[in-house]
Structures are given as structure tokens and as C-alpha cells.
Amino acid sequence: MHGIGVCTLDDIAASVLLTVIGHRPEKGWILTDGGWMALSRDRGTQRHPVDQGYGLVCDIDGNPFADVIVEDASQEHGIIKVRPGSGASLPDLPIGSRVRVLPNHACATCAQHDSYHVVDGTGRAITGQWQRMRGW
């Protein structure tokens, strides 16, 4: 929704915390431990003017890196890249670094998880855990 101008970044309540597990500098990749099973398979923005990939990549506190997205994903791994056509650079993220991804499709992403860790929005401390409602 942010990518098509419907909301601001501050309106996004769901995010997924991923860990950097590798680098492929010759391909311009950073590899994470979260693929489409963590982020959802939905690539609904690929035909929009701004493609958000599988999600917008932020530092652990939720501050977006300029034009950095999860551009590709397998079942269990995500590939962080600079958005095609951008002059931005990949951030320096050593192995073990944590990144927060604002998902492309929050509904589909949240449906992938059994529960949600709740933070107050201004810090990292978990203030609660909500179980996912199942069924219709």
C-alpha cells in the first residue's frame, strides 16, 4: 500500500525480522534466512510503477534502506538487492545482522505465522505475543 501511495511507512504495522546468512557480492546479493514462507509468495507490486519485491528492507529499528528490497525468494531464503534501475548501494550488513522487512502483502505474510510478537513501535522490546486467529 505504501508503494502505491495509499499509506505512509508509519502506517505499516507488520514486519518480519530476518537474519543475514550470506553474501554474493559478484551478483549484488545479500542472502537472508527468510524466503516466501516467511514473507508470502505475493508479488502484487511487480506491475506497479514502484516494485517492492517481496518487501522493503529496513534496519532492525524499521528505518528503510534507500531502494533496497527483497527482490527474490525461494521457500526458505530471501535475496536482498538494490531495486533495479536505482543508483543506491547495498548496505553493509555482516553475517548475523538483523533486518526488518515491511512485507509487500501484509495479509498474506501474517497468515504465514502462528503468532505475532508485539512491540510498542518505538523500541525493540517485545510487549506481547498474539496468537493468530484460525478459520473464518
Report pLDDT digits (tens) over 45-98: 666 666 778 889 999 988 999 999 999 999 999 999 998 888 999 999 999 999
Q: For residues 48 and 44, what is the distance between their CA atoms, to the nearest angstrom?
A: 8
Cell numbers placing 31 = 542472502
Say which residue, 8 or 65, is predicted with more confidence: 65
Domain 9-131 CATH assignment equals 2.40.37.20: yes
Q: For residues 82 and 55, what is the distance between their CA atoms, to the nearest angstrom?
A: 12
- Per-residue DSSP letter, 122: S
* Predicted pLDDT at 8: 86
Residue 135: pLDDT above 70? no
- Kindly report the pTM of this predicted structure: 0.86
